[in-house]
Amino acid sequence: MKRLLSILVIGILIFVGFGAASSINDNAYNLKIERTNFVFSNPIIKDEGKYLSVNLKESATFLLDPGKPLLPVVSQVYTYPFKTKINNVEVIFSEPKTLVLSKEIKPAPEPIILDTELQTTNQLEKNINIYENEAVYPSNAFIYSVGAGLANDEHVIFFRVIKK
């Protein structure tokens, strides 16, 4: 008896337009292709004196690399049956929109040590190599991770996509 190979291919399409989701099943190989569109809101830009801050409605956290721009991060977690195999992840972005900023984006602060005797300064120091470089930061627009765990007392696969 042939063993059925369970294959899951995830394609995540990110557009600035309308978002929708669809899935296709191929029962011969138990193949499932999943496509998800994700829509970002317009960035919220605030003047904070020397720097600008940037936020997104969808963001729950930020890139926190000390001295590098403090940018919002959007994370999406998908849950699949245990032993699901993820073969491919593809992210396609729509055309980027350019915004001209009047100031630099606020750098992420250094981590603070929880010590009552240690004197710290709240001065933000920017990483000159990033701020004076013409390259896009961050260099990769997304990362993903795959892990296993429990959800509703069931063993599952967690697939997390982080859009930077």
List the one residue out of 36, 83, 77, 74 whose CA is nearest residue 159.
Answer: 77
For residues 31-35, give the mean pLDDT. Answer: 83
Q: What does pTM read for this prediction?
A: 0.71
Q: Does residue 54 lie within any of the structural domains?
A: yes
Q: What is the tally of structural domains in the chain?
A: 1
**pLDDT at residue 5 is higher than 80:** no
Calculate the alpha carbon distances from 46 to 50, 85, 98, 164 in Å. Answer: 11, 43, 17, 19
Residue 96 falls within a domain, yes or no?
Answer: yes
Does 98 map to a domain?
yes
AA identity, residue 124: L
118, pLDDT greater than 80: no
Structural domain includes residue 2: no
Mean pLDDT of 118-136: 82
Residue 73 in domain: yes
With respect to residue 59, please indicate whether it lies within any of the assigned structural domains. Answer: yes
Q: Assess if residue 1 is contained within a domain.
A: no
Residue 87 carries which DSSP code? Answer: E
Answer yes or no: is 72 within a domain: yes
Q: In which domain, by residue range, is 140 found?
A: 7-163
